[in-house]
Amino acid sequence: LCAITTKDGLFWLGTFDGNLYNINLTDNTFPYNNIRASVNSFCEENDSVLYIATTEKGLLKLNRKTGIYEKFANKYSNQNSLLNHDINILRKDAYGNLWFGTNSGFYKLDAGKNLLTRYAHDSSATNTRAINHIPPDSVYCVHADKKNVWVGFGDEGLGKLDLGTGKVTHYLYDAKDRNSISGNSVYCIDEDSLVNVWVGTYNGLDKLNERNNSIKHYLTGYNINNICIDNSGIIWAGTNDGLYQY
């Protein structure tokens, strides 16, 4: 189950059974259609284009004015096409590029050019970024800021891709190092106004301060499913044991 409120005030709701609701909150109408795929995430490009991440059908681009869907799917002759149709998360960076994570790596879509780039652990394909320290693992979450793209992996910790240099920094749990992240399964990432990066893992909540390269731990032992930072700067953490704030 996922949701987004678009700039025109419409509330979009996607369900695991493939129902896509377009809810007008002013007149309480609930039109919907079934896209026959679980909906995992949304991202609004502009007032006429909505991207939809699905399981089994890959990435869908909905033209809201025409109602026509464009599908980004696996094209076996093109190694830069989607290699996995299970899209877990969508996020847009400050430059309008769309970043998304799949069960076999993550991608960037240059929306203006409709150019898809796959970021891989090791590949010789044209326009594929063969970067050391990016594991061939499921990507559960992505957060993009002006300088970096942060990637949360299913079992391989946290990755940071520097957009300027292409350098990747890999953060892993180390039981002997209190300055390591709390766990290698990373479910959510967000960033506060002081540019601290908050990371939710299966074993706790971490605050990563890049200025002094420190990591502070909260809610140790809790499974952190979601993080939201509100306009007042309050950190909200959703866990299997309830909602917490800092």
Phi first, then psi: give them for residue 145, nearest 5 degrees.
-120, -165
The closest of 76, 42, 44, 70 to 57, measured between CA atoms, is 70
Q: What's the pLDDT tens digit per position in 219-232?
A: 999 999 999 999 99
Distance between the two ends of the chain, CA-based, in angstroms?
26
Cα–Cα distance between 121 and 130 in angstroms, integer? 6
pLDDT value of position 114: 74
Write down the mean pLDDT value for the chain.
Answer: 87
Lowest mean pLDDT among 5-9, 28-32, 197-201, 222-226: 28-32
**In sequence order, what DSSP letters do the residues of the chain get, joined into one string?**
-EEEE-TTSEEEEE-TTSEEEEEETTTTB--EEE-SS-EEEEEE-SSSEEEEEESSS-EEEEETTTTEEEEE---TT-TTS-S-S-EEEEEE-TTS-EEEEETTEEEEEETTTTEEEEEESS---TT-EE-TT--S--EEEEEE-SSEEEEEESSS-EEEEETTT--EEEE---TT-TTS-S-S-EEEEEE-TT-PEEEEETTEEEEEETTTTEEEEESTT--EEEEEE-TT--EEEEETTEEEE-
74-108 pLDDT tens trace: 654 455 567 778 999 999 998 889 998 988 888 89
Model confidence at 126: pLDDT above 50: no
Residue 163 has pLDDT above 70, yes or no: yes
3-state secondary structure of 43: strand
Q: Are 132 and 124 in contact (CB under 8 A)?
A: no
pLDDT for residue 40: 94
Beta bridge partners of 9: none
**Higher pLDDT, residue 72 or 219:** 219
Percentage of the chain modeled with pLDDT above 70:
89
Considering only 81-85, 107-111, 131-135, which range has the smallest mean pLDDT?
A: 131-135
What distances in angstroms separate CA 241 from CA 100, 227, 228, 229, 234, one per listed residue?
28, 14, 16, 19, 19
Q: Residue 174 and residue 228: Cα distance in Å, rounded?
A: 26
Q: What percent of the chain has pLDDT over 90?
A: 55
**Confidence (pLDDT) at 105:** 81
**Residue 72 β-bridge partners:** 59
Q: How many residues does the chain have?
A: 246
Residue 157: which of 137, 172, 176, 138 has the closest Cα?
172
